[in-house]
Amino acid sequence: MNTIILAGIGAIFGACGRYAITNYGKKNWPSFFPFATLLINLSGAFLLGLVFALHVSPFLYALIGTGVLGGYTTFSTLNVELLGKLKDHQTKNFFLYLLASYLGGLLLVFAGYYLGKIF
Amino acid sequence: MSDKVKNYLSVGFFAFFGGALRCYLNNIWAQSGTFFANVTGCFLLAFLTYFFLEYREGRDWLATGLSTGFVGAYTTLSSFKLDTLKQLLEASYLPAVTYFLSSIVFGLLFAALGMLVGKKVGQFFTRKA
């Protein structure tokens, strides 16, 4: 099957998972910091590093890597939330969220990659 | 149908197109495709968020599907991180740092632009309605 269709199918599940976690976070977690998006992005980065290191077939990679994990993590929500922190003059939370997402994501993609290399 | 089910169906439906479009851009432009999807997605999400704050038309599932579903799946943090990892593993440090920093700067810039335009367009439609 075409990789574009596979990525689309995977994205359905990734996005619904993200939506479920975000909804859960809105109800149960403190609202001063976007914990839900951070958890989603960090766990997604870790898993993608892992999947990449396992050298799965291009079809499986399109479905799981590009589709599910690509659709699960989000760059746009992160930036709109960062913008919100700037607008509300929450400078400390802005930098904390920025560093945690960008540097934390990079660390976790490496962690997933080296874990996958072991197998 | 309950609102909750409606929202999930809408998120899934629109996510298919967001993920497929990102994959298509990735197929033709490789890493630049992900970058393009991410920055344009920042504009789109900010636009939609601030547009629907001004212009409440009642169909919550549509706003949720377009923003959380389509744009959320269209943009990605994990592939962006993986691209950076690949560059670092290949020891191309300058491109890695450039890609990393430009994603941060352009992501915020396009989100700010989307917010301004979305507010304006939302106010325009609200005045008309």
Mean per-residue pLDDT of chain A: 97
> Between chain A and chain B, how many beta carbons pairs sit less than 8 Å apart?
181
Q: Quick one: which H or E segment has residue B99?
A: helix B93-128
**Under an 8 A CB cutoff, do A5 and B27 touch?**
no
Report the C-alpha gap between B91 and B93 in whole angstroms. 5
pLDDT value at residue B35: 97
Percentage of the residues of chain A whose pLDDT score is greater than 90: 98
**Under an 8 A CB cutoff, do B18 and A102 touch?**
no
User: What six digits make up the tokens of A28?
Assistant: 């149960």
Set of chain A residues whose Cβ sits within 8 Å of the Cβ of B13:
12
pLDDT value at residue A4: 97
Q: Is A69 exposed, middle or buried (0-12, 13-18, 19+ CB in 10 A)?
A: buried
ipTM of the complex in this document: 0.95
Chain B residue with minimum CA distance to A104: B81
CA nearest neighbour of B88 among A110, A47, A30? A110
Q: Is A24 exposed, middle or buried (0-12, 13-18, 19+ CB in 10 A)?
A: exposed
Q: Hey, how many other C-beta atoms are within 10 angstroms of the C-beta on B104?
A: 15
Q: How far is CA B38 from CA A20, A73, B6, in A?
A: 22, 11, 27
User: What six digits make up the tokens of B12?
Assistant: 């899934």
- Coil, helix or strand at residue B129: coil
Ranges of each domain in chain A: 2-118
- Of A44-53, B20-29, B39-48, B56-65, least confident by mean pLDDT is B56-65
Structure confidence by residue, pLDDT tens digits, B47-93: 999 999 998 877 899 999 999 999 999 999 999 999 999 999 999 99
Shortest CB distance from B24 goes to which of A4, A19, A70?
Answer: A4
Report the predicted TM-score, pTM, of the whole model to 2 decimal places. 0.95
- Among A9, A64, A76, the residue to mutate for chain B (most B Cβ within 10 A): A76
Percentage of the residues of chain B whose pLDDT score is greater than 90: 91
Set of chain B residues whose Cβ sits within 8 Å of the Cβ of A86:
108
Set of chain A residues whose Cβ sits within 8 Å of the Cβ of B46:
76, 79-80, 83
pLDDT value at residue B128: 73
CA nearest neighbour of A71 among A54, A50, A52, A47? A47
